[in-house]
Amino acid sequence: MSLSNTLRYGFHPSSQIHVGNPHITRIYDHPHPGNFLTDNMIDDKPYASYERADLSLEYMYEQETKYMLGSEIVSLPIPVRVYRRDPQLRWSEIRNVLTGGSIPQRYMFTDVDHAPVNSATFYKFANRFYLANDSSGSLVLYEKGTKLPVERQHSDFEWVLELMIPNNFTEGEILAFSAQDFANVVLEHTGSWHLDRFHRAMNHWRFLHRV
């Protein structure tokens, strides 16, 4: 189903609220092996969740919910936010804007108030990053908040979690790790900014604890 970019009275069509199954926890496994320098997609799997993620778009829905008011059941509308990532988004598109190029055609909407897909959204995505030369003189994409280079290998995060950590820590130490501990070890080992860093660490923690 093609998602509507148009709001009516501040909401997207309620028939689309479940597109992408936002109620199902996103699993980060079998990541693509690509390098962002080769124009790979930012994320090779659909993202839809009630939790905000890196470079995600916000969709607002109105959902009817039943409440018990005294002895009477009443229906009231409540706002529900669903976050989705553009499945076509590529690192090369971010880099292109940072070097003076234009935004992708699909984001060239400026007259749609509060619509997720518009030019302001894409510039916001791009402005989270900057280009600079690394120690070898190569022009590298960095994330502004952390001043860390963006992941070159998307699969590095899971490689550290699934292969490096088990070879360097005991089972007891690993089970005592929090999701933040996992994220910190990956950061220490790779020195990179990773997409959905905490979500991916939490996914691994849930897997280990079967929750």
80 Cβ neighbours under 8 A, 6+ residues apart = 17, 50, 60, 61, 62, 63
Counting the structural domains of the chain, the total is 1
Residue 12 structure tokens: 């997207």
Measured CA to CA, the distance from residue 182 to residue 197 in angstroms comes to 10
Amino acid at 11: F
Long-range contacts of 59-68 (CB under 8 A, 24+ apart): 59/3, 59/12, 59/16, 59/83, 59/84, 59/116, 60/7, 60/10, 60/11, 60/12, 60/114, 61/11, 61/12, 61/13, 61/14, 61/16, 61/17, 62/11, 62/14, 63/14, 63/17
79 found inside a domain: no
| pLDDT at residue 173, as a whole number | 96
Q: What is the pLDDT along the chain (211 residues), one digit of tens a residue?
A: 578 887 777 888 889 999 999 999 888 765 454 444 445 788 878 899 999 999 999 999 998 888 888 888 888 888 999 999 998 999 999 999 999 999 999 998 765 566 788 898 999 999 999 999 988 989 999 999 999 999 888 888 999 999 999 999 999 999 999 999 999 999 999 999 999 999 999 999 999 998 7
105 found inside a domain: no
**Helix or strand or coil: residue 137?**
coil
174 found inside a domain: yes
| pLDDT at residue 35, as a whole number | 46
Amino acid at 109: F
DSSP 8-state class, residue 53:
-
Q: In 10 A of CB 188, how many CB atoms? A: 9
Is residue 31 within 8 A of residue 154, CB to CB? The reply is yes
| pLDDT at residue 72, as a whole number | 87
177 found inside a domain: yes
| pLDDT at residue 26, as a whole number | 85
- Which stretches within the chain are classed as H helix? 91-98, 119-126, 156-159, 165-168, 171-176, 179-190, 197-209
136 found inside a domain: no
Measured distance between the N- and C-terminal CA atoms of the chain, rounded to whole angstroms: 31
| pLDDT at residue 1, as a whole number | 52
Residue 203 structure tokens: 């996914």
Q: Which residue has the tokens 């529900």?
A: 80
181 found inside a domain: yes
132 found inside a domain: no
190 found inside a domain: yes
Helix (H) or strand (E) holding 75: strand 72-84
| pLDDT at residue 140, as a whole number | 93
What is the span of the domain harbouring residue 166? 155-211
